[in-house]
Structure 1
Amino acid sequence: MKKVSLVIMASLLLILSACSGGKTEQAASGGSSEPKDLVLALGSEPVSLDPQDATDGISYDATELIYDKLVTFDKDMKLVPQLAKEWTTSDDGKKMTFKLQQGAKFQDGTPVNAEAVKASFERILNKDNKLARYSLFAEFVDKVAADSEYQVSFDLKFPYAPALSTFAHPSGAIVSIKGVQDKGKNFNKQPVGSGPYQLKDWVSGDKLVLVPNNEYWGEKPKLKSITIKPIKENAARALMLETGEADVIAPVPATDIERLKGNDKVNVTVYPSNRNLYIGMNTQKAPFQDVKVRQALNYAVDKDTIVKKILLGQAQVSQAAISELTWGYSPAGAYPYDPEKAKKLLAEAGVQPGTTIKLWTPEGRYLMDRQIAEFVQANLEAIGFKVEFRKWEWGAYTQAYRDPKSGFDLFLVSWAVPSNDADAGLRPLFQTKGANNYTLLSDPKIDELLDKGMKTVNADERKKIYADALKNIKEQAPWIFLMEMKQPVGVRKNVEGVVSLNTELVDLRHAVKK
């Protein structure tokens, strides 16, 4: 018996030694399953972490990790449940009812129930709060009711075809009202949601650090932390990916895509995008009140060369004011490059050669944005303008181009459609009262069409309405219509689960670093 015991003990020691050695080798080789830190380098930093008051995609890259919504889009842009496990719409299309997941909590410990959802939407629906996304929901939501602890319903002002996809918009995120009350005006810097990650630290201009919400009700986070770093210089962002200083970068500079694809430690994926890049014009300021001038600028810009030479094919010339990936799209046709026609229209409008105009751009926010703006500057100078060029830091820029009193003439910016529907792609930008109508366009025909499109349920009828609207918008030319962007994302090969949606959201919810 003693000999048998000794043999068993010796065998156990060998097994334990082998297991210990295996663990040591695993740790030495970096194969530990312990969550790791991930660095995401973007062209700029978030403007606001209050999803109901944010309007830029970089902010949404962060808020989509901090908050949950009733429903969301998966990687294929299909609507899937999030806080709502199921929903129904009344026969008349004027009431939507959502049954909620049970057990979800905000990061401050308060429950996510029907009353919390009601309070969150009543916050954005309150015009006095002056939230940037007020009109997105106020246009179609009449009132919200908590039917029971885990059932919430929305009475709609009219049957609204894209209602469900609008609830999936990043601004449909459910915020903690306790957090709003506790943080006050600082809520945009100190957010409280119910998502898988929560804010640890934000040093403006340097980094934003998110850590796991250990009480998350859904799939647990797989990273120790996510650090978002604003790196506007294209070369610096690409170098960070190569050296491993960054695990994920977006966008990958067009000039580095092919080179990085040859790096055996990096994956580069070029995702489709419903983002349109454009140059807006102040249509209430001379000489841009004249539609001939606005059309002249469209003829003056060589968009094909921008796509081929600057973006190296990582975009396509816009054929309408929304992307072909957006529901309701139909091609209105691009303005061809015709500088002589541009000069003729300017002469007809009485614009004198040497007229000074201002062109503003961010740098690093969009793929090759400064370089595109400089090319447009040269095109406009070639038809007789004197163009004053100015680069802006993204945060300050988002305030400047939204304020007509700031003195802009032309501003380079873009518009993605997080709900993936033409209503959200057009109404905020081109309706006279649109919340994001930074060009100050006012056209009764366009107003009528966009209002009709919002209130029409039949899909075929809606498509015809938006086809007419897109033709009218092209004719009025409040933008220099440039291109539909693509989203090149670089990821280190030891990172998995990173995707970019059509809306250019870099989704890290399921990311894991090995």
Structure 2
Amino acid sequence: MKLSKRSYQSVILILIAIMLVLAGCGNSSSSSGSSADTNSADAGTPTAGGELVWALAGVVTNDILDAHRTGFAPSTRVMRSIYDSLVVELPDHTFGPWLAESWSLSDDKKSYTFKLRQDVKFHDGTPFNAEAVKFNFDRAVDPATQSYLGKNALGPYVSTDVIDEYTVKVNFSSTFAPFLSNVAKVDLGIVSPAAVKKYGETFPQNPVGTGPFKLGKVVPGTELDLVRNEDYNWAPSGSKHQGPAYLEKLTIKYVAEDATRLSVLQSGQADVADIIPPQNLLALRADSGFNVQETELLQHNYSYYFNQNKEPWNDINVRKAVRAAIDLDSAIKTVYLGTAKQAWSPLSPHSLYYTSTVENTWKYDPDFANKTLDELGWVKGDDGIRVKDGKRLSMEFLDAQGNREKRLDLLAVVTQQLKQVGIELKLLTLPAGTVSERSLKGEYDFAGSSQFYGDPSILRQMYSTKGPSGVNNVARTSDPALEDLLEQANAELDSSKRQELYKKIQEYIIENVYSIPTYVLDYTVASSKKVHDITFDSPAWPVFYDAWIKQ
């Protein structure tokens, strides 16, 4: 029997409703920020020892685990266990001590002075001190390091002064609001200066930090073993204990394929798996044998971007027509089975700087899309695709990451929606290096990207020529009015004034269709019932320091 489109949608909605009811009977916890953990009220006293196997959703590309040289999500999730930070960002977005015991801001608001712990050592036995902090910040902004995230995280950085062995002063050319939030992230995690000098170009494969786990064995492209740092006694504020981690070993297996990742979890070959696909998430929520943790990832939401350096995408009316042709609400419900919701802003809804004023400011309106394109002279050809001056209204979409977070499934639905109004979208799957090269050359029409980052200053990187990517910012935006707002927000230390600036920024981006936000990502971690006290940092990566296994 062939179902009509309306009947098919009805069946899908009924199935979603059933699965959501089942999910309500399961075992899950959720959080909008850092430090969410498993339900361990009846777990008993933590016990030390044991090996935890984590089925990681993805591959640590080229086994790069250098805090300053990769912003790739799988790498960053792993690195949080290896590197510590000067401060920790707490769930209420205040800051607590970590490698720094205290800090103060200068009268001119352009310098931060940190008093450091005096009992910290790197995994290689060398001391952590003021010289190490200076080395790290200088390295992060050094062009030779190629640290685009680190460079953005330090903004108008000028220098670091070593006041004494355990006191350091970090100087900026102007006020820099995001600094404490940025320095709490693993992008500015503290690496061993001695190890960087020892390993040189191979340091990314030989990471040395001060964290609760240190590198053991690496099977290139397959897995890595982290072993407990027995000397660790400097956990951040908010931790549940002090001293070494409970786990003796953390084995991380790269399991990019969704079905395989779920299989190794359910069979007991892995104790933990992350980024659970929607169809399995609903089932795991209802399974009493597992805990499911869900936390909204603080980030720039996955969005579509136009290459505004190419016609016709530099025309705001064309961009509005494309956006109106996409029924994101329907597409997201179909692909994510009710486990994700539509994004309206570049920023995550639980961001302190999110504004609800952008919600429902555009809608699926194929009539508007057709009318606009007609008026602009784009005429449908015999195959239904529009043509103007002999040129097809065709978009090339470059991809190198595959169906991560079901993004290609979503794109497939969007492709069909665009086709209905006469727009052709062609997916080109290419090696990462080729995509990067073509992107820099502007040889594409449409792109998709997200960027995990707790602070809204990430918008400067994505939409401003004054950010670290310059004219190659992902949105290919060069708008003086927007850049002025972004610079103001980057410098504004008053939180309420900064919120108002980011409200205007989000509204401006949406009004000008500089991007099309798609879905809000809840980062998910499923674990065996014997695993307890996995927590999350900011922006929402798993922390295994307090984790333990019930024997």
TM bracket, shorter-chain basis? 0.7 to 0.9
Aligned match of 2:67 in 40, 44, 51? Answer: 51
Residue 188 (structure 1) aligned with residue 204 (structure 2): yes
SS in structure 1 opposite 2:405?
coil
Q: Is the 8 A contact 2:302 2:451 kept in 1?
A: yes
Residue 400 (structure 1) aligned with residue 436 (structure 2): yes
Flag the 1:146–1:451 CA change in 2: closer, same or farther, 3 A.
Answer: same
Structure 1 unaligned segments of length 5 or more: list them.
Answer: 1-30
**How far apart are residue 490 of structure 1 and its match?**
0.7
- Judge which range, 302-311 or 399-408, deviates more: 399-408
Cross-structure match for 1:126: 142
Aligned match of 1:421 in 440, 452, 455? Answer: 455
SS in structure 2 opposite 1:469?
helix
Q: Is the 8 A contact 1:116 1:177 kept in 2?
A: yes
Q: Is the 8 A contact 2:296 2:348 kept in 1?
A: no
- 2:410 & 2:428 partners in 1: Cα distance? 13
Cross-structure match for 1:433: 466
CA root-mean-square deviation: 2.5
- 1:390 & 1:222 partners in 2: Cα distance? 46
Supply the AA of the counterpart residue of 1:484: V
Aligned match of 2:419 in 381, 398, 417? Answer: 381
Flag the 1:302–1:431 CA change in 2: closer, same or farther, 3 A.
Answer: same
Question: How is 1:21-60 mapped onto 2 (pairs within 5 angstroms)?
Answer: 35-47=49-61, 48-60=64-76
Identity %: 29
Aligned match of 1:86 in 79, 94, 102? Answer: 102
Cross-structure match for 1:483: 519
- 2:444 & 2:297 partners in 1: Cα distance? 28
Q: Is the 8 A contact 1:105 1:217 kept in 2?
A: no
**How far apart are residue 266 of structure 1 and its match?**
0.7
**How far apart are residue 111 of structure 1 and its match?**
0.5
**How far apart are residue 138 of structure 1 and its match?**
4.3
- Judge which range, 236-245 or 132-141, deviates more: 132-141
Residue 246 (structure 1) aligned with residue 235 (structure 2): no
**How far apart are residue 351 of structure 1 and its match?**
4.4
Aligned match of 2:130 in 108, 114, 120? Answer: 114
Question: How is 1:362-377 mapped onto 2 (pairs within 5 angstroms)?
Answer: 366-377=404-415
Question: How is 1:212-223 mapped onto 2 (pairs within 5 angstroms)?
Answer: 212-218=228-234, 219-223=243-247
Aligned match of 2:373 in 341, 346, 349? Answer: 346
- Judge which range, 444-453 or 180-189, deviates more: 180-189
- 2:128 & 2:88 partners in 1: Cα distance? 17
SS in structure 1 opposite 2:414?
helix
Cross-structure match for 2:39: none
- Judge which range, 300-309 or 398-407, deviates more: 398-407
Flag the 1:336–1:255 CA change in 2: closer, same or farther, 3 A.
Answer: same
Supply the AA of the counterpart residue of 2:316: V
Flag the 1:397–1:491 CA change in 2: closer, same or farther, 3 A.
Answer: farther
SS in structure 2 opposite 1:322?
coil
Offset from partner CA, 1:418-450 (integer Å, 9 cap, x none): xx32223x1111112323522321111111110
**How far apart are residue 348 of structure 1 and its match?**
3.9
Flag the 1:374–1:108 CA change in 2: closer, same or farther, 3 A.
Answer: same
Q: Is the 8 A contact 2:279 2:337 kept in 1?
A: yes
Q: Is the 8 A contact 1:212 1:221 kept in 2?
A: yes
**How far apart are residue 106 of structure 1 and its match?**
1.1
TM value normalised by structure 1: 0.86
**How far apart are residue 386 of structure 1 and its match?**
2.5
Supply the AA of the counterpart residue of 2:393: T
Cross-structure match for 1:499: 535
Cross-structure match for 2:307: 282
Cross-structure match for 2:248: 224
Question: How is 1:451-466 mapped onto 2 (pairs within 5 angstroms)?
Answer: 451-466=487-502
Supply the AA of the counterpart residue of 1:267: N
Cross-structure match for 1:148: 164
Cross-structure match for 1:474: 510
**How far apart are residue 488 of structure 1 and its match?**
2.2
Q: Is the 8 A contact 2:55 2:254 kept in 1?
A: yes
Q: Which has the higher contact order (CA 8 A, sep 6+)?
A: 2
Q: Is the 8 A contact 2:162 2:168 kept in 1?
A: yes
Flag the 1:54–1:348 CA change in 2: closer, same or farther, 3 A.
Answer: farther
Cross-structure match for 1:333: 359
Cross-structure match for 1:6: none
Cross-structure match for 1:25: none
If you compute each CA radius of gyration, which structure gives the higher value, 1 or 2?
1
Supply the AA of the counterpart residue of 2:502: Y
- 1:50 & 1:237 partners in 2: Cα distance? 25
**How far apart are residue 159 of structure 1 and its match?**
2.4
SS in structure 1 opposite 2:308?
coil
Flag the 1:380–1:202 CA change in 2: closer, same or farther, 3 A.
Answer: farther
TM value normalised by structure 2: 0.81
- 2:514 & 2:307 partners in 1: Cα distance? 8
Structure 2 unaligned segments of length 5 or more: list them.
Answer: 1-44, 235-242, 380-385, 387-391
Aligned match of 2:281 in 257, 261, 265? Answer: 257
Question: How is 1:441-452 mapped onto 2 (pairs within 5 angstroms)?
Answer: 441-452=477-488
Offset from partner CA, 1:119-176 (integer Å, 9 cap, x none): 1111113234332234324423221111111111112222222321121122121111
Q: Is the 8 A contact 2:150 2:187 kept in 1?
A: no
Flag the 1:391–1:489 CA change in 2: closer, same or farther, 3 A.
Answer: farther
- Judge which range, 445-454 or 36-45, deviates more: 36-45
- 2:231 & 2:377 partners in 1: Cα distance? 65
Residue 303 (structure 1) aligned with residue 328 (structure 2): yes
- 1:297 & 1:287 partners in 2: Cα distance? 11
Number of aligned residue pairs: give it: 479
- 1:377 & 1:435 partners in 2: Cα distance? 32
Q: Is the 8 A contact 1:176 1:193 kept in 2?
A: yes
- 1:185 & 1:60 partners in 2: Cα distance? 19
Flag the 1:263–1:290 CA change in 2: closer, same or farther, 3 A.
Answer: same
- Judge which range, 111-120 or 236-245, deviates more: 236-245
Q: Is the 8 A contact 2:67 2:186 kept in 1?
A: yes
Flag the 1:75–1:247 CA change in 2: closer, same or farther, 3 A.
Answer: farther
